[in-house]
């Protein structure tokens, strides 16, 4: 006879396995790892990687680690670099990449990105570049 307050061994093993695997499941739907040396944020199950470029900034879009067709996306980026503020439109370039010319997203900069076309409402993300 088992004691009414004891959890059967099979159930306790199942609970332990679920506890150990939970971080892996959470990671599967979290932000993707940077692929282009930028900063990654997530919105609406999409991952957005913002990368500073010599001409401005590039935004790469991933859907569950696969390149997302960004051809229907448009957006706007505002970058604060110290006391300097710059803004530009994000336009489709190719594949999963949007670009903005004339902004300086470099070390220590902060950016707000607004993207339209990925759903019924605009997506907004905040990025901070490493110093």
- Residue 105 is predicted with a pLDDT of 87
- Residue 27 is predicted with a pLDDT of 44
CB 41 within 8 A of CB 126: yes
- Residue 25 is predicted with a pLDDT of 42
CB 112 within 8 A of CB 75: no
CA-based angle 115:121:127, to the nearest 5? 35
Task: Supply 32's token pair.
Answer: 């993707």
Delimit the domains of the chain by residue range.
Answer: 30-128
Fold of 30-128: Immunoglobulin-like (2.60.40)
Consecutive 10-residue averages of pLDDT for the chain (131 residues): 56 52 48 82 94 95 94 96 94 97 91 94 94 80
- Token pair 């944020």 in the structure block, residue: 41
Q: Is this prediction's pTM over 0.95? A: no
CB 46 within 8 A of CB 63: yes
């Amino acid at each position: 006879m088992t004691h009414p307050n004891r959890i059967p061994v099979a159930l306790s093993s199942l609970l332990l396995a679920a506890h150990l695997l939970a971080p892996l499941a959470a990671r599967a739907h979290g932000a993707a790892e940077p692929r282009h040396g930028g900063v990654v944020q997530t919105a609406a199950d999409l991952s957005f990687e913002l990368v500073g470029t010599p001409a401005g900034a590039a935004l790469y879009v991933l859907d569950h680690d696969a390149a997302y067709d960004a051809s229907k996306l448009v957006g706007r980026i505002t970058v604060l670099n110290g006391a300097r503020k710059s803004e530009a439109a994000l336009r489709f370039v190719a594949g999963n990449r949007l670009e903005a010319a004339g902004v300086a997203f470099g070390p220590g900069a902060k950016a707000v990105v607004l993207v339209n076309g990925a759903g019924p409402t605009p997506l907004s993300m905040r990025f901070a570049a490493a110093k």
